[in-house]
Amino acid sequence: MITETTIPSLDIAAIRRQFPVLQREVKGHPLVYLDNAATSQKPKVVIDALVDYYSGYNANIHRGIHTLAEEATAAFEATRDTVARFINAASREQIIFTRGTTESINLVAQTWGRQQVNKGDEIIISGMEHHSNIVPWQLLCLEKEAVLKVIPVLDNGELDMDAYKALLSPRTKIVSIVHVSNALGTVNPVKEIIDAAHRQGAVVMIDGAQSSVHLDIDVQVLDCDFFAMSAHKVYGPTGIGVLYGKKELLDAMPVFQGGGEMIKEVSFEGTTFNELPYKYEAGTPNIADTVAFKAALDFVTETGKDRMRQHEDQLLAYATDKLQQLPGLRIIGQAAEKISLVSFIIDGIHPQDIGILLDTQGIAVRTGHHCAQPLMHRFGIPGTVRASFAVYNTMEELDRLIAGLQRAIKLLA
Protein backbone atom coordinates (compact mmCIF):
# COMPACT_ATOMS: atom_id res chain seq x y z
CA MET A 1 0.00 0.00 0.00
CA ILE A 2 1.25 3.46 -0.91
CA THR A 3 1.59 5.78 2.06
CA GLU A 4 2.79 9.33 2.56
CA THR A 5 5.55 8.09 4.87
CA THR A 6 7.55 7.21 1.76
CA ILE A 7 8.29 10.94 1.46
CA PRO A 8 9.52 11.87 4.95
CA SER A 9 10.73 15.29 3.83
CA LEU A 10 7.24 16.39 2.77
CA ASP A 11 4.98 17.17 5.74
CA ILE A 12 1.50 17.11 4.22
CA ALA A 13 -0.20 18.03 7.51
CA ALA A 14 1.98 21.14 7.78
CA ILE A 15 1.27 22.02 4.16
CA ARG A 16 -2.47 21.67 4.72
CA ARG A 17 -2.31 24.11 7.64
CA GLN A 18 -1.12 26.77 5.20
CA PHE A 19 -4.44 26.64 3.29
CA PRO A 20 -7.25 28.26 5.29
CA VAL A 21 -10.10 26.94 3.12
CA LEU A 22 -9.12 23.34 3.90
CA GLN A 23 -10.19 23.90 7.50
CA ARG A 24 -13.85 24.47 6.60
CA GLU A 25 -16.78 22.10 6.40
CA VAL A 26 -19.20 21.66 3.51
CA LYS A 27 -22.71 20.43 4.35
CA GLY A 28 -21.57 19.12 7.70
CA HIS A 29 -18.48 17.31 6.43
CA PRO A 30 -14.80 18.30 6.33
CA LEU A 31 -14.04 19.63 2.86
CA VAL A 32 -12.34 17.26 0.43
CA TYR A 33 -11.22 19.45 -2.47
CA LEU A 34 -10.48 17.41 -5.59
CA ASP A 35 -11.06 20.07 -8.27
CA ASN A 36 -7.50 21.32 -8.54
CA ALA A 37 -7.34 21.14 -12.33
CA ALA A 38 -10.02 23.83 -12.41
CA THR A 39 -8.27 26.00 -9.81
CA SER A 40 -6.00 25.26 -6.89
CA GLN A 41 -6.59 26.58 -3.40
CA LYS A 42 -4.44 29.44 -2.09
CA PRO A 43 -1.91 29.28 0.74
CA LYS A 44 -1.94 31.98 3.40
CA VAL A 45 1.22 33.58 1.98
CA VAL A 46 -0.70 34.38 -1.21
CA ILE A 47 -3.68 35.77 0.70
CA ASP A 48 -1.33 37.80 2.91
CA ALA A 49 0.42 39.23 -0.15
CA LEU A 50 -2.91 40.52 -1.46
CA VAL A 51 -3.80 42.06 1.89
CA ASP A 52 -0.33 43.57 2.30
CA TYR A 53 -0.52 45.29 -1.08
CA TYR A 54 -3.94 46.81 -0.53
CA SER A 55 -3.28 47.76 3.08
CA GLY A 56 0.34 48.86 2.80
CA TYR A 57 1.35 50.21 -0.62
CA ASN A 58 -1.63 50.33 -2.96
CA ALA A 59 -0.61 52.58 -5.87
CA ASN A 60 -0.42 52.57 -9.63
CA ILE A 61 2.89 51.47 -11.04
CA HIS A 62 5.76 52.49 -13.31
CA ARG A 63 5.12 56.24 -13.70
CA GLY A 64 4.76 57.42 -10.11
CA ILE A 65 7.70 58.96 -8.24
CA HIS A 66 6.21 58.77 -4.74
CA THR A 67 7.13 56.04 -2.29
CA LEU A 68 4.01 53.90 -2.62
CA ALA A 69 4.26 53.87 -6.41
CA GLU A 70 7.91 52.88 -6.24
CA GLU A 71 7.17 50.06 -3.77
CA ALA A 72 4.28 48.77 -5.87
CA THR A 73 6.38 48.89 -9.04
CA ALA A 74 9.22 47.00 -7.39
CA ALA A 75 6.86 44.27 -6.13
CA PHE A 76 5.13 43.99 -9.51
CA GLU A 77 8.38 43.68 -11.44
CA ALA A 78 9.78 41.22 -8.90
CA THR A 79 7.04 38.84 -9.99
CA ARG A 80 8.20 39.13 -13.59
CA ASP A 81 11.71 38.12 -12.51
CA THR A 82 10.30 35.20 -10.52
CA VAL A 83 8.24 33.94 -13.47
CA ALA A 84 11.28 34.16 -15.74
CA ARG A 85 13.24 31.96 -13.32
CA PHE A 86 10.28 29.59 -12.84
CA ILE A 87 10.15 28.71 -16.55
CA ASN A 88 13.84 29.51 -17.26
CA ALA A 89 13.22 32.29 -19.76
CA ALA A 90 16.39 33.84 -21.16
CA SER A 91 15.27 37.34 -20.20
CA ARG A 92 12.56 39.08 -18.18
CA GLU A 93 11.48 41.00 -21.29
CA GLN A 94 10.01 37.77 -22.64
CA ILE A 95 7.46 37.60 -19.81
CA ILE A 96 4.18 39.31 -20.74
CA PHE A 97 1.48 39.57 -18.09
CA THR A 98 -2.03 38.69 -19.30
CA ARG A 99 -5.28 37.70 -17.62
CA GLY A 100 -4.39 34.03 -18.05
CA THR A 101 -3.74 31.26 -20.54
CA THR A 102 -6.85 32.07 -22.58
CA GLU A 103 -5.83 35.69 -23.15
CA SER A 104 -2.25 34.61 -23.90
CA ILE A 105 -3.40 32.28 -26.67
CA ASN A 106 -5.74 34.93 -28.07
CA LEU A 107 -2.92 37.47 -28.01
CA VAL A 108 -0.74 35.23 -30.18
CA ALA A 109 -3.61 34.38 -32.55
CA GLN A 110 -4.61 38.01 -33.01
CA THR A 111 -1.09 39.42 -33.39
CA TRP A 112 1.37 36.85 -34.72
CA GLY A 113 -1.47 34.93 -36.38
CA ARG A 114 -3.00 37.87 -38.21
CA GLN A 115 0.45 38.96 -39.33
CA GLN A 116 1.78 35.58 -40.48
CA VAL A 117 -1.15 33.34 -41.50
CA ASN A 118 -2.52 33.70 -45.03
CA LYS A 119 -5.05 31.97 -47.26
CA GLY A 120 -4.35 28.26 -47.56
CA ASP A 121 -1.92 28.15 -44.66
CA GLU A 122 -2.34 25.44 -42.05
CA ILE A 123 -2.71 25.51 -38.26
CA ILE A 124 -2.39 22.30 -36.25
CA ILE A 125 -4.00 21.65 -32.88
CA SER A 126 -4.94 18.37 -31.19
CA GLY A 127 -8.13 16.52 -30.42
CA MET A 128 -7.66 17.01 -26.67
CA GLU A 129 -7.49 20.81 -26.62
CA HIS A 130 -9.37 23.04 -24.21
CA HIS A 131 -11.83 25.30 -26.00
CA SER A 132 -9.48 28.24 -25.39
CA ASN A 133 -6.93 26.55 -27.67
CA ILE A 134 -9.51 25.76 -30.34
CA VAL A 135 -11.76 28.78 -30.79
CA PRO A 136 -9.04 31.46 -31.30
CA TRP A 137 -7.56 29.40 -34.13
CA GLN A 138 -10.96 28.70 -35.66
CA LEU A 139 -11.64 32.44 -35.73
CA LEU A 140 -8.27 33.10 -37.33
CA CYS A 141 -8.86 30.41 -39.95
CA LEU A 142 -12.25 31.92 -40.81
CA GLU A 143 -10.73 35.36 -41.17
CA LYS A 144 -7.68 34.26 -43.18
CA GLU A 145 -9.22 31.31 -45.08
CA ALA A 146 -6.63 29.06 -43.48
CA VAL A 147 -6.99 25.35 -42.73
CA LEU A 148 -7.30 23.92 -39.21
CA LYS A 149 -5.88 20.41 -38.82
CA VAL A 150 -6.40 18.20 -35.77
CA ILE A 151 -4.10 15.52 -34.34
CA PRO A 152 -6.18 12.42 -33.49
CA VAL A 153 -6.38 11.02 -29.96
CA LEU A 154 -5.78 7.31 -29.45
CA ASP A 155 -8.03 5.08 -27.34
CA ASN A 156 -5.66 5.32 -24.36
CA GLY A 157 -5.79 9.12 -24.38
CA GLU A 158 -2.43 9.72 -26.04
CA LEU A 159 -1.84 11.67 -29.23
CA ASP A 160 -1.31 9.79 -32.48
CA MET A 161 2.20 11.03 -33.14
CA ASP A 162 2.49 9.27 -36.52
CA ALA A 163 -0.64 11.11 -37.64
CA TYR A 164 0.79 14.38 -36.32
CA LYS A 165 3.96 14.04 -38.36
CA ALA A 166 1.86 13.24 -41.45
CA LEU A 167 -0.19 16.42 -40.90
CA LEU A 168 2.89 18.63 -40.95
CA SER A 169 3.62 20.28 -44.28
CA PRO A 170 5.42 23.31 -45.72
CA ARG A 171 2.09 25.16 -45.33
CA THR A 172 2.04 24.61 -41.55
CA LYS A 173 2.45 28.00 -39.88
CA ILE A 174 1.82 27.21 -36.21
CA VAL A 175 1.24 24.19 -34.00
CA SER A 176 -0.66 25.06 -30.82
CA ILE A 177 -0.74 22.18 -28.39
CA VAL A 178 -1.67 21.48 -24.80
CA HIS A 179 1.22 20.27 -22.65
CA VAL A 180 -1.07 18.37 -20.26
CA SER A 181 -4.71 17.58 -20.97
CA ASN A 182 -7.07 19.13 -18.45
CA ALA A 183 -9.65 16.41 -19.17
CA LEU A 184 -7.45 13.30 -19.24
CA GLY A 185 -4.24 14.20 -17.45
CA THR A 186 -2.17 13.05 -20.44
CA VAL A 187 1.34 14.53 -20.62
CA ASN A 188 2.05 15.15 -24.29
CA PRO A 189 5.54 14.74 -25.82
CA VAL A 190 5.86 18.45 -26.49
CA LYS A 191 9.61 18.42 -27.14
CA GLU A 192 9.10 15.91 -29.95
CA ILE A 193 6.15 17.96 -31.24
CA ILE A 194 8.20 21.17 -31.19
CA ASP A 195 11.22 19.67 -32.93
CA ALA A 196 9.10 18.17 -35.71
CA ALA A 197 7.27 21.46 -36.27
CA HIS A 198 10.51 23.43 -36.38
CA ARG A 199 11.87 21.12 -39.08
CA GLN A 200 8.94 22.28 -41.23
CA GLY A 201 9.58 25.93 -40.39
CA ALA A 202 6.50 26.25 -38.16
CA VAL A 203 6.34 27.92 -34.77
CA VAL A 204 4.86 26.25 -31.69
CA MET A 205 2.61 27.53 -28.93
CA ILE A 206 2.37 25.48 -25.73
CA ASP A 207 -0.68 25.68 -23.45
CA GLY A 208 0.94 25.17 -20.05
CA ALA A 209 -2.11 25.81 -17.89
CA GLN A 210 -1.99 22.32 -16.36
CA SER A 211 1.69 21.49 -16.74
CA SER A 212 3.15 24.55 -15.00
CA VAL A 213 2.21 23.35 -11.50
CA HIS A 214 3.17 19.69 -11.98
CA LEU A 215 6.15 19.59 -14.36
CA ASP A 216 9.51 21.33 -14.45
CA ILE A 217 9.25 23.90 -17.23
CA ASP A 218 12.33 25.03 -19.15
CA VAL A 219 11.25 26.99 -22.20
CA GLN A 220 14.81 27.15 -23.49
CA VAL A 221 15.25 23.37 -23.41
CA LEU A 222 11.80 22.85 -24.93
CA ASP A 223 12.64 25.51 -27.54
CA CYS A 224 8.95 26.48 -27.73
CA ASP A 225 8.18 29.76 -29.44
CA PHE A 226 5.32 30.67 -27.09
CA PHE A 227 4.26 29.33 -23.69
CA ALA A 228 1.15 30.28 -21.70
CA MET A 229 0.23 29.70 -18.06
CA SER A 230 -2.30 30.87 -15.45
CA ALA A 231 -1.53 31.81 -11.85
CA HIS A 232 -4.67 30.27 -10.38
CA LYS A 233 -3.55 26.78 -11.44
CA VAL A 234 -0.28 27.27 -9.50
CA TYR A 235 -1.76 28.17 -6.08
CA GLY A 236 -1.96 31.82 -7.13
CA PRO A 237 -4.76 34.34 -7.67
CA THR A 238 -7.27 34.35 -10.51
CA GLY A 239 -7.16 36.92 -13.28
CA ILE A 240 -3.41 36.91 -13.89
CA GLY A 241 -1.27 34.82 -16.20
CA VAL A 242 1.73 34.86 -18.47
CA LEU A 243 2.66 34.71 -22.11
CA TYR A 244 6.28 33.80 -22.78
CA GLY A 245 7.60 34.33 -26.28
CA LYS A 246 10.88 34.29 -28.09
CA LYS A 247 12.14 37.87 -28.19
CA GLU A 248 12.51 38.09 -31.94
CA LEU A 249 8.90 37.02 -32.41
CA LEU A 250 7.53 39.39 -29.76
CA ASP A 251 9.53 42.29 -31.20
CA ALA A 252 8.16 41.68 -34.69
CA MET A 253 4.52 41.17 -33.68
CA PRO A 254 2.02 44.04 -33.85
CA VAL A 255 0.50 45.43 -30.66
CA PHE A 256 -2.55 43.74 -29.15
CA GLN A 257 -4.34 46.58 -27.33
CA GLY A 258 -3.84 50.33 -27.38
CA GLY A 259 -3.74 52.55 -24.31
CA GLY A 260 -1.49 53.72 -21.55
CA GLU A 261 1.85 52.11 -20.69
CA MET A 262 2.23 50.34 -24.05
CA ILE A 263 3.45 53.57 -25.64
CA LYS A 264 6.56 55.70 -25.59
CA GLU A 265 5.06 58.78 -27.20
CA VAL A 266 1.66 59.73 -28.56
CA SER A 267 0.64 62.57 -30.82
CA PHE A 268 -2.31 63.03 -33.12
CA GLU A 269 0.04 62.36 -36.00
CA GLY A 270 1.13 58.96 -34.71
CA THR A 271 2.29 56.77 -31.83
CA THR A 272 5.63 55.20 -30.92
CA PHE A 273 5.14 51.94 -29.06
CA ASN A 274 6.96 50.88 -25.91
CA GLU A 275 9.65 48.21 -25.74
CA LEU A 276 9.13 44.71 -24.41
CA PRO A 277 7.46 43.61 -22.22
CA TYR A 278 5.32 46.74 -21.83
CA LYS A 279 4.36 46.79 -25.51
CA TYR A 280 1.68 44.20 -24.69
CA GLU A 281 0.57 45.47 -21.28
CA ALA A 282 -1.87 48.29 -21.99
CA GLY A 283 -3.61 50.07 -19.13
CA THR A 284 -3.43 49.68 -15.38
CA PRO A 285 -2.59 46.00 -14.81
CA ASN A 286 -3.88 43.59 -12.21
CA ILE A 287 -1.26 44.78 -9.73
CA ALA A 288 -2.40 43.08 -6.54
CA ASP A 289 -2.82 39.63 -8.07
CA THR A 290 0.47 39.96 -9.93
CA VAL A 291 2.24 40.74 -6.66
CA ALA A 292 0.57 37.75 -4.99
CA PHE A 293 1.51 35.52 -7.93
CA LYS A 294 5.13 35.76 -6.79
CA ALA A 295 4.18 34.39 -3.37
CA ALA A 296 2.51 31.41 -5.06
CA LEU A 297 5.53 30.61 -7.21
CA ASP A 298 7.80 30.98 -4.18
CA PHE A 299 5.57 28.51 -2.32
CA VAL A 300 5.93 25.95 -5.11
CA THR A 301 9.68 26.47 -5.41
CA GLU A 302 10.26 26.25 -1.65
CA THR A 303 8.07 23.16 -1.30
CA GLY A 304 9.87 21.57 -4.23
CA LYS A 305 8.19 20.53 -7.46
CA ASP A 306 9.94 17.17 -7.44
CA ARG A 307 8.60 16.32 -3.99
CA MET A 308 5.17 17.66 -4.87
CA ARG A 309 5.09 15.58 -8.04
CA GLN A 310 6.18 12.46 -6.15
CA HIS A 311 3.35 12.88 -3.65
CA GLU A 312 0.83 13.61 -6.40
CA ASP A 313 1.98 10.56 -8.37
CA GLN A 314 1.36 8.42 -5.31
CA LEU A 315 -2.14 9.86 -5.01
CA LEU A 316 -2.74 9.12 -8.69
CA ALA A 317 -1.57 5.51 -8.38
CA TYR A 318 -3.64 4.94 -5.24
CA ALA A 319 -6.79 6.50 -6.71
CA THR A 320 -6.42 4.64 -10.01
CA ASP A 321 -6.07 1.31 -8.24
CA LYS A 322 -9.08 1.90 -5.98
CA LEU A 323 -11.31 3.32 -8.70
CA GLN A 324 -10.71 0.38 -11.03
CA GLN A 325 -12.11 -1.93 -8.37
CA LEU A 326 -15.51 -0.20 -8.41
CA PRO A 327 -18.20 -1.98 -10.47
CA GLY A 328 -19.12 -0.27 -13.72
CA LEU A 329 -16.44 2.40 -13.44
CA ARG A 330 -14.31 3.17 -16.50
CA ILE A 331 -11.35 5.54 -16.47
CA ILE A 332 -11.16 7.74 -19.56
CA GLY A 333 -7.53 8.30 -20.48
CA GLN A 334 -4.92 5.71 -19.56
CA ALA A 335 -1.83 7.36 -21.01
CA ALA A 336 1.54 6.01 -19.96
CA GLU A 337 2.50 9.44 -18.65
CA LYS A 338 -0.10 11.39 -16.68
CA ILE A 339 -0.33 14.05 -14.02
CA SER A 340 -2.46 13.61 -10.88
CA LEU A 341 -5.89 13.58 -12.47
CA VAL A 342 -8.45 10.81 -13.00
CA SER A 343 -11.39 11.22 -15.34
CA PHE A 344 -14.04 8.51 -15.26
CA ILE A 345 -17.62 7.46 -15.90
CA ILE A 346 -19.84 4.91 -14.15
CA ASP A 347 -22.24 2.80 -16.20
CA GLY A 348 -25.84 3.92 -15.85
CA ILE A 349 -25.12 7.05 -13.81
CA HIS A 350 -24.86 10.57 -15.21
CA PRO A 351 -21.65 12.34 -14.13
CA GLN A 352 -23.61 15.31 -12.81
CA ASP A 353 -25.63 13.08 -10.48
CA ILE A 354 -22.39 11.67 -9.08
CA GLY A 355 -21.00 15.16 -8.53
CA ILE A 356 -24.13 16.30 -6.72
CA LEU A 357 -24.16 13.28 -4.43
CA LEU A 358 -20.44 13.69 -3.64
CA ASP A 359 -21.03 17.34 -2.80
CA THR A 360 -23.57 16.35 -0.16
CA GLN A 361 -20.65 14.55 1.51
CA GLY A 362 -18.32 17.54 1.30
CA ILE A 363 -16.37 16.18 -1.68
CA ALA A 364 -15.67 18.63 -4.53
CA VAL A 365 -15.04 17.14 -7.98
CA ARG A 366 -15.65 18.50 -11.48
CA THR A 367 -18.27 17.01 -13.79
CA GLY A 368 -19.11 17.71 -17.42
CA HIS A 369 -17.12 18.15 -20.62
CA HIS A 370 -14.33 20.20 -19.00
CA CYS A 371 -14.34 22.72 -21.89
CA ALA A 372 -13.16 19.90 -24.14
CA GLN A 373 -16.34 18.92 -25.98
CA PRO A 374 -14.59 17.55 -29.10
CA LEU A 375 -12.60 15.19 -26.86
CA MET A 376 -15.79 13.97 -25.17
CA HIS A 377 -17.31 13.37 -28.62
CA ARG A 378 -14.20 11.38 -29.54
CA PHE A 379 -14.94 8.98 -26.67
CA GLY A 380 -18.69 8.98 -27.29
CA ILE A 381 -19.62 10.34 -23.88
CA PRO A 382 -21.35 13.54 -22.67
CA GLY A 383 -18.76 14.15 -19.99
CA THR A 384 -16.88 12.62 -17.08
CA VAL A 385 -16.32 12.93 -13.37
CA ARG A 386 -12.86 14.42 -12.85
CA ALA A 387 -10.95 14.14 -9.61
CA SER A 388 -7.69 16.11 -9.67
CA PHE A 389 -5.14 16.15 -6.89
CA ALA A 390 -2.75 18.70 -5.40
CA VAL A 391 0.05 18.59 -2.87
CA TYR A 392 -2.35 19.11 0.05
CA ASN A 393 -4.54 16.10 -0.76
CA THR A 394 -4.23 12.90 1.28
CA MET A 395 -4.88 9.18 0.97
CA GLU A 396 -7.62 9.55 3.57
CA GLU A 397 -9.40 12.02 1.31
CA LEU A 398 -9.18 9.55 -1.55
CA ASP A 399 -10.71 6.90 0.71
CA ARG A 400 -13.62 9.28 1.30
CA LEU A 401 -13.95 9.73 -2.47
CA ILE A 402 -14.10 5.95 -2.96
CA ALA A 403 -16.67 5.58 -0.18
CA GLY A 404 -18.74 8.37 -1.73
CA LEU A 405 -18.65 6.66 -5.12
CA GLN A 406 -19.65 3.35 -3.57
CA ARG A 407 -22.64 5.10 -2.06
CA ALA A 408 -23.48 6.67 -5.45
CA ILE A 409 -23.35 3.29 -7.16
CA LYS A 410 -25.59 1.77 -4.51
CA LEU A 411 -28.15 4.57 -4.71
CA LEU A 412 -28.08 5.48 -8.41
CA ALA A 413 -26.92 2.54 -10.51
For residues 252 and 311, give the distance between their C-alpha atoms in angstroms, rounded to a whole number.
43
- Which of 243, 273, 301 is the last residue before a domain boundary? 301
Q: How confident is the model over 400-405, as a mean pLDDT?
A: 98
Q: Let me know whether 130 and 211 are in one domain.
A: yes
Q: Let me know whether 149 and 283 are in one domain.
A: yes
Residue 363 and residue 400 in contact, taking contact as beta carbons nearer than 8 Å: yes
- Which of 285, 301, 317 is the last residue before a domain boundary? 301
Q: Let me know whether 115 and 13 are in one domain.
A: no
Residue 241 and residue 98 in contact, taking contact as beta carbons nearer than 8 Å: yes
Q: How confident is the model over 78-104, as a mean pLDDT?
A: 98
For residues 250 and 115, give the distance between their C-alpha atoms in angstroms, rounded to a whole number.
12
Query: CATH code at 114?
Result: 3.40.640.10
Q: Let me know whether 341 and 401 are in one domain.
A: yes
Q: Let me know whether 76 and 122 are in one domain.
A: yes
At residue 2, the pLDDT reads 42
pLDDT digits (tens, 9 = 90+) for 251-288: 999 888 777 676 777 778 777 777 888 899 888 899 99
For residues 347 and 408, give the distance between their C-alpha atoms in angstroms, rounded to a whole number.
11
Query: CATH code at 402?
Result: 3.90.1150.10
Confidence of residue 20 (pLDDT cuts 50, 70, 90): very high
Catalytically active residues, by annotation: 371
pLDDT digits (tens, 9 = 90+) for 111-131: 999 999 999 999 999 999 999
Question: By three-state DSSP, how is residue 193 classified?
Answer: helix
At residue 274, the pLDDT reads 72
Question: How many domains are contained in the chain?
Answer: 2
Q: Let me know whether 312 and 185 are in one domain.
A: no
For residues 387 and 194, give the distance between their C-alpha atoms in angstroms, rounded to a whole number.
30
Calculate the average pLDDT of the chain. Answer: 95
Q: Let me know whether 192 and 80 are in one domain.
A: yes
pLDDT above 70 (res 3): no
Q: Which domain does 247 fall in, by range?
A: 48-301
Q: Let me know whether 92 and 235 are in one domain.
A: yes
Q: Let me know whether 255 and 369 are in one domain.
A: no
pLDDT digits (tens, 9 = 90+) for 48-67: 999 999 999 999 999 889 99
pLDDT above 80 (res 246): yes
pLDDT digits (tens, 9 = 90+) for 147-192: 999 999 999 999 999 999 999 999 999 999 999 999 999 999 999 9
Confidence of residue 132 (pLDDT cuts 50, 70, 90): very high
At residue 1, the pLDDT reads 37
Percent of the chain with pLDDT over 90: 89
Q: Let me know whether 396 and 251 are in one domain.
A: no
pLDDT digits (tens, 9 = 90+) for 212-242: 999 999 999 999 999 999 999 999 999 999 9
